[in-house]
Chains A and B, each alone.
Chain A
Amino acid sequence: MNRILWRASLRHLLTHPWQTGLAVLGIALGVAVVVSINLAEVSAKRAFALSIETVIGKATHQIIGGPSGLDEAIYVQLRVEEGWKSAAPVVEGYVYVPGDPGRTLKLLGVDPFEESPFRTYWQHFGRDSAIDMATLVTEPNTALLSAITAKQLGLKRGDTLKLRVDGEPYAVRIVGLSPSGNSKGKFSLDDVLLTDISTAQTLLGMLGRLSRVDLILPTGQQGSAQLERLRALLPPAPEVIPTGVHTETIQQMTRAFHTNLTALSLLALLVGMFLIYNTMTFLVVQRRELIGNLRALGVTRRQIFKTILVEALSIGLVGTLCGLLFGMLLGEGLLGLVTQTINDLYFAVTVRQLAVPPLALALAVLLGLGVTALAAFVPANEAAIVPPRVAMSRSLFETKAHHWVRRSALSGVLVIAFATATLLLPSNSLGLGLIGLFALVLGATLITPAATVALVRLCQPAVSRVFGLIGRLAARSVLASLSRTTVAVAALMVAVSAVLSIGIMIGSFRLSVAEWLDSVVRADLYVSLPHPVASPPEGTLAPALVERIGAAPGVVDWSTVRRTRIDSERGITEIVAYKLSPHSHSGFRFKEGDPSAIWPAFEDQEAVLISEPYAYRHGLGVNALVRLRTDHGERDFRVAGVYYDYGSDQGVIAMSRRTYERNWTDRGVSGIGIYLDPDTAPKEIEEVLHRIAGPHQEVQIVSNRAIREASLEVFDRTFAITEVLRLLAAVVAFIGVFSALTALELERAREFGMLRAIGLTPRQLWGLIMSQTGLMGVAAGLLALPVGVALAVTLIYVINQRSFGWTMDAYISSGSLAQAMLLAVTAAVLAGIYPAFKMTRARPADMLREE
């Protein structure tokens, strides 16, 4: 019996290749998007974790200093006077390899003789590099590279690598190569330039300083005792932190970004789910006669239910497997975009290849099958309750659908109420926000059938007036087969509203950033180092240069900025120290705080400003205290104001240069803003400044306009991945609608045959089908507008705020609304072309003969 059932089901699928194929495609695309995003993220995370692990090695703790590092005397004291074992000094920073494209390498300076307990990669430099180990220590400007990085840079052992460090040119000789990762893949020295600590100090200008001292402390009581002793030994400024803190903070930075990407990719799968639902419903409805007969022959409900479910799962499985393959391909493509965003926003990471963890694939399979099972449940149930022999009439089914429409709308209202309540809940939880968002989508979907009915009824008089009989027929037929039309409309509506809302969100964001840039970028020219590294501390301009530029002709005023980072046990804090020209004060827009009181406090009372995301993340406001680890120990700083800043989603603490210099020994400057005499031409001054900078340090001098453009370029780049996802959602939606409408129209071949037989011309039939799909497109578009706006508002005020801490104004252009409408109608009309084409070509007699 079972075999007959399976064969019947297989035959049915095979005789409906379009429906089956499109359902497979829908699931495949949905799964592919989820898989590709997941793999790209996992790869980026892995690469990052691996490079961190290689560099941290077995260290359990680190002694860290302030922005200017740690006095090396502390290390010597620990070693010689205290006999402290398992301590390894590290000097690290970033160097830039010029070229096209240029490349940033992490310079890791270590003492090879203290490395063994910490980092295992030394073993991999190979036996023939023995002499070069000695060279590494004894000869200035020598370094080791991983074989892969060397190959990418076109270098062999013994070659010279040209570098720029803070814009100044250097050359190092490569005296050894390590394999990139051992067989177990437990380390990665890619993009690491490994040198002796002396070379690192010289190259990075860190003479007398260390970036950190790595320690291995035992666990348990013995460890805490040692930690205690160590803290007592150290002066107040350095801090001992567990190594995990650092990695964790950095990983946390990207968490919101990853969550958002995942949510977006799930949206694509959601649309895929509609597709499966749609297809399975069709396949069941088409066979209701057969199912009735089977039941009469003694097949149980259970068996019918099982058959339909297995059928769906088979489609789902094929789709999922295709999705996995396609997802891996897509992942390769998205990897670049994801890492680009991570590099622009968070930290430098290079991902050599897409990691494909089996677990991720298994999860994707589960997800694909789960979604399929969920979507197939209703149709399978529908099939199972078909009474024996009595073939359920189509009209009866549609009558039921009408009841179902009402129920669905009711539950939709409830779900939307739930969503609204969830979103309005005073909470910072991103998870709750996403639940609200998805509930909103679900609620809107549930309301769609009722709304469609209402809309079509509303349009009916107008349509019949314009298109006459054909128009009336079109409207009627939409209403007559609600069970299929509404699903197609819902799928299209969800996709269009997603596309619309993401568009509105990005547009609003971009506008806010552009406005912010306009107000904050006030100086005429900006001097900075080229090729900045994503994570502070940024490069340092030569101190002499700063003075000379200030004294240059045509320069009326100037401000400086120092961006750096303070690590502590509590995490990483980004710090910006401004020496502000009075011109620049008005560039700050405050969310909180009285501007007249803020500036005196900022300049003279060591008060600090915090950016909006910082305030949001730490729940701080004006007059709150922030604790920072200065070079003289821990200190509280009063918050004078909260300002708008879209530069960092982690948030920054801004302070005056004076405050900075009083509390930290670092005297570096990351950038200079120059205010020019209005009578001078910026171009000329630019040349003068370039001459002043001289050949030694390569600096970048750009106009305020260029800096705005460059910033927006970075913005667009960071949102490139979002745009791609938006596009993918649209593609999935289109396929969904295409599949639904094609199936719908093809299924009505008999009906169309009848119409043709009673005198409808092919032209009229064409018009009928097009106006039918067009009407559905209009309905979907009209519904997508409010839903899209609601989703956009949720994205802007809930999801974005909770993810990144930024507030922005929602900006809804009539253009974007019109675009969404156009998308809906175009998609629907395009989807109608094939069936219309096929129906008008077929002979009415054949159409009638079918089945």
Chain B
Amino acid sequence: MLKIENLHATVGDTEILKGLSLEIQAGEIHAIMGPNGAGKSTLAYALGGRPGYEVTAGSVSFNGTDLLDMDPHERAAAGMFLGFQYPVEIPGVSNLQFLRESLNSQRGERGEEALSGGEFIKLAKEKAALLKMDMDMLKRAVNVGFSGGEKKRNEMVQMGILDPTLAILDETDSGLDIDALRTVGSGINAIMRQPDKAVLLITHYQRLLDEVQPDYVHVLAGGRIVKTGGPELAQQLENEGYEAIAEAA
């Protein structure tokens, strides 16, 4: 589904990603772990197409098309969802309005019919229930006045409604208490653990991986993947720390 080869990316004048390669197949869940400054968020932003995150070398193919050739909204329409580490506030715009416009733009881009108001509300209710989120929260302005945990759960509801094929979740677990972590984890499983979908989890910690069992765990250090293993690698990282493993690699 996603094939990243020798990706180099710079922010300003600094090269952050230095030849990162990674391949994700449909049905798989991958976790990327790594110390601060390793380039985890840069990877997410570069894949999302954020201006200022310049890809200087390498290639990324997404379901057979050249991802780097697409605008951010085209990447979204092609089925990529980015869960933000710091979800952004949009005052005066309700979640429902935001998501309905987003979804219908995506559908338009794909040549599909727009959902009517009724169809959309039905879909939103269904996904909110799945994540134990109050519909009232969907009526509030996007992330405005939300707690850290609410923002992250809101990201998951958005993911549920937009129904991507690939979700890249950037530290979705940060700022969550145990209960919220469980809700978010089960949301990811319910929405994304499908034979035709894939997830790239970016995280610091083991604890989200207890909720969402990854098929592969990668260690990102110095802008490259330095080690790849199964779920047991996450446990090893938790026990031994990044430094030891990055150095051993």
Partners in one complex: no
B residues contacting A by CB (< 8 A) are none
